[in-house]
Chain A
Amino acid sequence: MMKNEYIPFPSQVKKIIRHTDIEYTFRMEFTGEVKPGQFFEVSIPRYGEAPISVSGIGPDTIDLTIRKVGKVTNQIFENFEGNHLLIRGPYGNGFDIENYKNKELFIIAGGTGLSPVKGIVDYFSSHPGEAADTTLIAGFKSPDDILFKQDFEQWEKNIRVIKTVDSAPDGYQGQTGMVTKYIPDLPVKNPDNAVFIIVGPPAMMKFTVIEVQKRGIPEQNIWISYERKMCCGLGKCGHCKMDSTYICLDGPVFNYKEGKNLID
C-alpha cells in the first residue's frame, strides 16, 4: 500500500513552555531525522492544519513554538491538555549546520522568526568552538513579546546576544530599536568568511538584507527563510509557490542569491 502523506500521526505533548500569553512552545514526542528550519503540519481535526517550524530538536522530541493567531492555533491552545496533537512532517529543506561551521555567524531574527533559527542558535551556543564567532540579534515588538527567555539566559553565556525591542515602556533596561540599528556596529572581521541568517516578517527581512549588504557581505553568504501559506507541505496545493519554486519542497530556507529572485 502506498504511503498516504495526508494522514497525521498522534504525538504526545511532553512539556509546555509558556513564553507570552499567546506564544507557547510544545515539546512533542518525535523520533526521526529533522533539521532546524523544517516544519510540521500540526492539526486539530475540525479546525484544520497549520504549518509550524521546528524550534528545537531533542533526542526524541521536537519543539513547536506556536503563536495563537489563527483558527487552528487558537484551538491548539484550547486543547493542549489533551496530551496529544496530530502532526505530519517534517517538511522542507531546513538549515544545514555545515554551512555555518568555522564561519563568523550572525543570526538576525524578528519575532517568531526566531523559531526556525533557534535550532542553529542552540547548536552553536552549545558548540561555541565550531563557529569562528556567533552573534544573535533578536528583535521583538515589546518586552512582553520576548520569546525563549530561559534560552536567552543560556545563550548569553556562550555567544554574543543582542535582544532588542521595537518599543518599551519608560524605565526598560534592555536594548531598544529595530534589529537594523545594530547591524552597522557588528564586529565583522572578514566579510567573505561571515555568514548571515535572516528570518522574520517580509519588511524586516528586506531592510535587514539591505543593511547587511552595506557591510560588504556577499549575497551567497546570506541565508533566508520564507514564510508562506503551506496547506499540504507536499508540493501539491500550490499556495506557497513563488515563481517556479515551491517553498514547502525547495525551501523554506534559501541562499539569498537564489531567494532574492523569487517573486510572489
Chain B
Amino acid sequence: MGYQLPRKTADTLFCRLREHYEIFAPKLFAGDGCFSDTDVIRYDKVSSLDEIEFDRRSDYSFKEALFAVNETLFYFTENETTIPSCTDKKLLIFLKSCDLHALKRLDAIYLENGPEDFYYKRLREKACFVLMDCGETCDTGFCAGMGTNRSDNYDLYLKCGEETVWIDCPSEELLSDLKEAGLNEAGETACAVTPNYVTQNKETVTLPKNLSVESFDNPLWEAYGSRCIGCGRCNFVCPTCTCFTMQDIHYRDNENVGERRRVWASCQVDGYTDIAGGGSFRQKQSDRLRFKVMHKIYDFEKRFGYPMCVGCGRCDAVCPEYISYANLVNQLAEEDAK
C-alpha cells in the first residue's frame, strides 16, 4: 500500500524531512564531465526533489554517501587521537535497484569480513534507502541477467512525476518521520504503489559457471588488459569496490598535528600491491584486470556465496579505452560452455 500525492506536497514534505535527515541523491553537474561540454551525474547532498536526477543512471555510485572518497579516521596531536564526530542526522539515500543490491556487497566487506568497520557502521546504522525505478534500461547496464533489476528491501520507494509523486514506505521508522513531516495531513490518496523495473537490457551478460584456478591463465586477460592504461576509473565508479589506502597528512603550520585518512584505492593503479623494500605483485595491467574481474565474478562468490558484480555497467561506460567488461565476461562464458 502506498500514497499518491501532489508534487508540491511531496516537495514540502522532503523539505521538512531535512530537519532529521541528510538527503543524498544523484545530481546533475552540468559541464563538470571529464571532457569539454559533458555533464556528470554524481551523489551530493540535496535539499529538494527538484535537484535529484531520477531518470538517468548516475556516473558514480551511492557508495560515497557511506564511505567518502577520503575519510578522516582520526586527528592526531602529539599524544592524542580524536575521532571525528558523525552527523546527528539520519541519512536518506536515493538509489536505483542495482545500487541497492550493491549495498549488500558493501555490508559483506565492511561488516562481515573481519571485525565490523567503525566508520562504515556508524553511518550505515543511520541510513535509509529510497528506491528510484528505471523507466527504461540504461545503455551499458545488464541488471536483468544479474538478478539485480528488482529490489523489495527498500525503506521507501518514490516515483516522481511532473505533478504527482507516488510513494510506498515499508519502513515504519521512515513512515513515522514522513507523517511527522506532514504526510496524511496533506490530502494524499492511498493507493497501490509498486516499483517498476526493467526486464531487458541492451546489454546481456552471462556469467561463466566453471571458472577455476586455471582461468587465471586465460589469454583473454592479455587481449583485453593490453589496452588498459591503469587509470582506475572502473574501480571508482563501481558500487561494489571497497578498497582503500591509509594516508597520513599533517598541517603546514604545525607538523605534529594532522590526520590519518583512508582514501579510495584502485587495484588497477600502480602501487596497489607495493610492499616495503620494493616488492610488488601483478605488474602487468592484464594481471590487474584479471584480478578485478575474477573478484567480481568468481572469488567474492567463493567467499560470500553470490557474485560481487551487480551489472550496473558503469565501468564500461567510464572506460577511456573502451574496454568492455561485459564482452570480456561473455567471452569467458562462451569458452566456458565449450
Contacts and interface: CB of A to CB of B under 8 A. Distances in A.
Q: Do A and B come from one complex?
A: yes
Interface of A: 2-8, 10, 43, 45-50, 67, 69-70, 72-73, 201-202, 227-229, 231-232, 234-239, 241, 243-244, 246, 248-249, 261, 263-264
B18 interface: no
B258 A73 contact: no
A264 B117 contact: no
Contact of B277 (A4, A69, A237, A248): A69
B275 interface: yes
A7 B83 contact: yes
B6 to A, nearest CB: 42
Contacts of A244: 298-300, 302-303
B219 to A, nearest CB: 16
Contacts of B34: none
A89 B246 CA distance: 16
A228 B265 contact: no
B247 interface: yes
Contacts of A48: 246-248, 260
Interface of B: 73-74, 76, 79, 81, 83, 109-110, 113-119, 121-122, 213, 216, 242-250, 255-256, 258, 260, 262, 265, 267, 272-279, 281-282, 287, 291, 294-295, 298-300, 302-303
B248 A69 contact: no
B218 to A, nearest CB: 12
B114 A4 contact: no
Contacts of B244: 231-232, 236-238
B246 A232 contact: yes
A47 B122 CA distance: 27
A2 B116 contact: yes
A67 B277 contact: yes
A239 B265 contact: yes
A236 B295 contact: no
A263 B273 CA distance: 13
A50 B277 CA distance: 12
A235 B114 contact: yes
B272 A7 contact: no
Contact of A229 (B242, B248, B275): B275
Contacts of A239: 243, 245, 265, 272-273
A41 B196 CA distance: 48
Nearest to B117: A236
B274 A3 contact: no
A3 B115 CA distance: 9
Nearest to A10: B79
B271 to A, nearest CB: 9
22 contacts: A4-B118, A6-B260, A7-B81, A45-B81, A45-B260, A48-B248, A67-B276, A72-B276, A73-B276, A227-B279, A228-B275, A231-B262, A232-B246, A234-B114, A237-B246, A238-B243, A239-B245, A239-B273, A244-B300, A244-B302, A248-B114, A263-B216
Which of A6, A43, A69, A236 counts the most B-chain CB atoms under 10 A from its CB? Answer: A236
Contact of A46 (B216, B248, B272, B295): B248
B117 A234 contact: yes
Nearest to A233: B114
A236 B244 CA distance: 8
Contacts of A69: 276-278
Contacts of B249: 46
A261 B213 contact: yes
The list of the 10 closest CB pairs from A to B, nearest first, reads: A235-B114, A238-B243, A244-B299, A70-B276, A264-B281, A4-B118, A235-B113, A45-B76, A69-B277, A244-B302
A7 B74 contact: yes
A237 B245 contact: yes
Contacts of A238: 242-244, 265, 267
B246 A49 contact: yes
Contacts of B278: 69
Contacts of B121: 2
A244 B212 CA distance: 12
Nearest to A52: B276
A241 to B, nearest CB: 7
Question: In the complex, which of the residues B74, B83, B260, B295 has the most CB atoms of chain A within 10 Å of its own CB atom?
Answer: B260
Contact of B213 (A10, A236, A249, A263): A263
A238 B81 CA distance: 25
A83 B244 CA distance: 31
B74 A246 contact: no
A241 B267 CA distance: 10
A10 B78 CA distance: 12
Contact of B109 (A227, A235, A263): A235
